[in-house]
Each structure stands twice: as structure tokens, then as C-alpha cells.
Amino acid sequence: MSSLSNYLASNQARFRDELFAFLRIPSVSARSEHAGDLRACAAWLRENMQAAGLHTTIHETPGHPIVLGEWRGAGAGAPTVLVYGHYDVQPVEPLELWESPPFEPEIRDGRIYARGSVDDKGQLFLHIKAIEAHLATAGSLPCNVIVLAEGEEEVGSDNLAAFVEAQASHLACDGVVISDSAMFAPGQPSILSSLRGLAYFQIDLEGPSVDLHSGSYGGAVVNPAMALARILATFHDATGRVAIPGFYDAVREWEPEVRAQIRGLPFDDEHFRHEVGATALGGEAGWTTLERIWCRPTCEVNGLLSGYTGEGAKTVLPSKAMAKVSCRLVPDQTPSAIAELLRRHLAQVAPAGVRVQVTELHGGNPWRATLAGPLFDAGRRALERAFGKAPVIVGEGGSIPVVHDFTRVLGAPVMLMGFGLPGENAHAPNEWMSDENFVKGTQAAAYLWEELVRRG
């Protein structure tokens, strides 16, 4: 066993203990009452990265701080790679559905249960431990590394693009590595070929100035809840296509090879249906389930609010109705163009009697990988060494807003090698990360640096 592998093996228990300490900090970026916890989490991370041998700094933003770690001892002739991850997590509600408290990590059946275990603290942390292993055993890394950890990914990374732009020369690199996604199946390492983008809106409808008695007024006053239902119903046609005019105009066709490759992956609709617990699957006609998730844009309702929703019955005609709606985007759609199309569409379909207001909550651009070059070759070899199996190339339906900015500002290729698994409950109660993937992911992350310089 090499001293690197040996170090990883003999320190694994401590790595897990440290990860648990990281997971105990409730860094919920969406909730202002947790602002102090985000600061504490950034400070903890800084300390841990410093101990690993990185030179670390904390950068304030209008939101939550950014933690930067650097090791540039390989010199100007060696490649520089930036590792990106996020230390913030999603809210934990509904709390009563957690089998163990979200911020008291626990291992059950080989899974590390905690909010943020897989998204993204566990996956970020394994990179820090991989770097530590090199510096502890060899005193150096084969290349220069920059670790960039942000605290606002789960709320749209609003302040990160500006930071990357302002620090562009400091962050200049030959490639970016991100572990914030899932493997296609247990034991099957995966590299991402695409991410969808996001355009998130709140739609508010106002009808009468106050709630009204539905007997005294109902039938004579436009009901905002019904008006909202009618508006939302115009978002799709009967074949599941989004019916907002112009919605598909910017969509770039997928290469036939990409579709063929996706269709070649082993995927069972019935198994998937069972896993999500639905009675039937549904989506845009003419596309397979994986294509619907990876290759096609969507328009979904994420939340609805209107009228009386408490116990029993209340006869009321609500004065307001609200919907949270988000569109997942594919290249070359942009959040701003989609917002414009949605506004125009709403102006067309909103009935008289309600005022409609649209607020853009956040957005991110879609991204497609260039799956060639030394970083990808190294990633493939590192994953195969750690997992004993060559990685497959997969798409992804979720979004990581900064990925597009890395490509745009730094001009560097981005490689996403994730260590989550299907069913990991990210953003949901009982989030978990496979302990085996934490171990093998740390190995893969450590091997990556060796593989990157192996063939120049």
C-alpha cells in the first residue's frame, strides 16, 4: 500500500469524526436566524483547511462568507486546479419526519444521516481530507490547488459570480473540480455532462381588497385562487409541453450521440416510479424519463397558497393567491429571457379582476461539459482506481449556478464527479450519504492529483 493509501485508511475514523463536527453546525442559508451559524461554519471550515495545510482566508460578501484555501507550492510550471463546494444547507422542515435530528449525525446501515451529509458538506470535506493526505505524507501536492467554499449555493449563489469576477486573476486555473452531485447507481462512479439552469419566480394575484364572505360575494367577484389555477393550467399543453410562447426557442438540440448514450444507460421506469412512490410517471411526450430530467426544460409549481387551509371549513373568497414557480433550463436558455417570456404570457392570460405581480427570486444558467482534456482523463482514472469500475457519463436535472460562471469568467473546464446516490433525500428529511462513498470518494479525490500529472 502506498503511504497515501495508508494515510487515508488509518485516518478514516478521524475524518468521519471531523465530518460529524462539520455536520453539527446548522448552516441553513435560507434562514436569517442562522446567519451566525453560517459564520461559525465558515470559521470551522477555515480552521480545518488550515490544519490540512492550506493557506486560508475568509471573504465577506453581502450575504454569507466565502472560505478560500490555497496551496501553490507546485510552482508556476505546474497546473492549478480549483475545487468548489458549498458549506450551506437546505432548511430541515418538516422536522417530525426525521428519524434522527438533522444536526446530530448518525450512521445507520452504512449511511451517514444528517442535513448536508451529501449536499454538500460530505462531498466538499472529502476533498479537503484528500489534500491533507498528500500534504501529510509527501509534504506537497503534484499541482497547485485552490479550494473555494461558499455559503449561499442553496439560495442561488447571488454573490459568488461577482466574487469570481473580482478575483478572476487570483482564481485563474486550468480546471475546476466539483463534487456536489450523485453517482448513477451504487458502485457506479459517474461524471456529469450537463446541469440544468433555473429561473425561479413568485407569482402574486390580488383580487378584492379583503377576504370576502363566499356566500355574499361568491359568483360575482373574480376569485384569485380560481384565476391562479386557470393561469397555471395554461403553462402546459395536453402533451406535457410547456405552452409559454417562445419557451423552447433557445433550446439547443442535443447531439444524437448524447441521446443514444443516455438511452444506453440501464434505467427502469417502473423501479423509478416505485422509488418516488407515485402511481404513474408523467412528462413531455416523446422523451424518455432520463431525457425529461437531463435534456428538457420544465416549468413546475413549487408552492401554492390561497384562502383557508386550516382545519374544517371556512366559507371565504380569498383576496389573494400566490404560486412559487420554477423553470429548469437547458442550453441556451437564460433566466432573464425566460422571465421576459413568462411576464408576456401572464399579461396575455391573466383574467380581468386580478392584479398579477411577478417577482424573480433567483436564477442560474444551464451548462454543458466539454468531456475531453487532461482533467477528465485524470478524473476517469482516479474514479476507476477508487471504485474498481470505469465511470459512466450522465446528465443532471439539478442546478449549480456558479458552474456556468466558472466557464465564462475563468475559461476553465469544469469536471463534476459526485459521490451521492439515488434516493439520498437531498433537500428532504433523512438526507444521507453512503459511508462507503465517503471513503472511496476521499480516495478518488486523492488519486486525482496523482493522475493529473501522471501523463503530463
Partner whose footprint covers residue 425, from Zn ion, ligand BES, none (CB < 5 to 8 Å by kind): none
Catalytic residue, candidates 37, 70, 88, 180:
88
Candidate ranges 97-105, 117-125, 227-235, 290-298; the one touching Zn ion (CB under 5 A): 117-125
Whole-number Å distance between alpha carbons of 15 and 126? 8
**Cβ atoms 334, 250 nearer than 8 A:** yes
Candidate ranges 14-22, 55-63, 178-186, 374-382; the one touching ligand BES (CB under 6 A): 178-186
83-122: contacts with ligand BES (CB under 6 A): 119-120
Contact residue for ligand BES among 198, 293, 321, 452 (CB under 6 A): 198
Whole-number Å distance between alpha carbons of 104 and 212? 47
Nearer to ligand BES, 71 or 84 (CB): 84
CB of 181 to Zn ion, least distance (A): 8
Candidate ranges 9-17, 180-188, 236-244, 352-360; the one touching ligand BES (CB under 6 A): 180-188
Nearer to ligand BES, 195 or 354 (CB): 195
Does 424 bind ligand BES (CB under 6 A)? Our answer is: no
Partner whose footprint covers residue 366, from ligand BES, Zn ion, none (CB < 5 to 8 Å by kind): none
CB of 70 to ligand BES, least distance (A): 24
Whole-number Å distance between alpha carbons of 445 and 127? 6
Nearest residue to the partner ligand BES, using Cβ: 398
Whole-number Å distance between alpha carbons of 419 and 74? 27
Does 293 bind ligand BES (CB under 6 A)? Our answer is: no
Q: Nine-digit cell at 15?
A: 475524518
Candidate ranges 127-135, 174-182, 247-255, 336-344; the one touching ligand BES (CB under 6 A): 174-182
Whole-number Å distance between alpha carbons of 101 and 108? 13
Whole-number Å distance between alpha carbons of 71 and 57? 12
Whole-number Å distance between alpha carbons of 275 and 99? 19
Amino acid identity at 292: R
Burial class (CB in 10 A: 0-12, 13-18, 19+), 232: middle
Whole-number Å distance between alpha carbons of 95 and 88? 18
Catalytic residue, candidates 37, 153, 154, 424:
153
Residue 153 annotated as catalytic: yes
Does 424 bind Zn ion (CB under 5 A)? Our answer is: no
Nearer to ligand BES, 240 or 398 (CB): 398
Whole-number Å distance between alpha carbons of 209 and 55? 58
Burial letters 45-78, b for 16+ CB under 10 A, else e: bbebbeebbbebeeeeeebbbbbbbbbeebeeeb
Candidate ranges 175-183, 251-259, 305-313, 337-345; the one touching Zn ion (CB under 5 A): 175-183
CB of 339 to ligand BES, least distance (A): 15
Does 119 bind Zn ion (CB under 5 A)? Our answer is: yes
Does 324 bind ligand BES (CB under 6 A)? Our answer is: no
Partner whose footprint covers residue 4, from ligand BES, Zn ion, none (CB < 5 to 8 Å by kind): none
CB of 44 to ligand BES, least distance (A): 19
Residue 253 annotated as catalytic: no
Half-sphere exposure of 442 (CA within 13 A, CB side): 30
**Cβ atoms 303, 93 nearer than 8 A:** no
DSSP 11-30: THHHHHHHHHHHHTS--BTT
Query: Residues 385-404: x/- map of binding to ligand BES (CB under 6 A)?
Result: -----------x-xxxx---
Whole-number Å distance between alpha carbons of 261 and 88? 34
Whole-number Å distance between alpha carbons of 448 and 440? 12
Amino acid identity at 144: N
Nearer to ligand BES, 182 or 446 (CB): 182
Q: Which residues are catalytic?
A: 88, 153
* Interface residues toward ligand BES, by CB under 6 A: 119-120, 153-154, 156, 180-182, 198, 362, 364, 396, 398-401
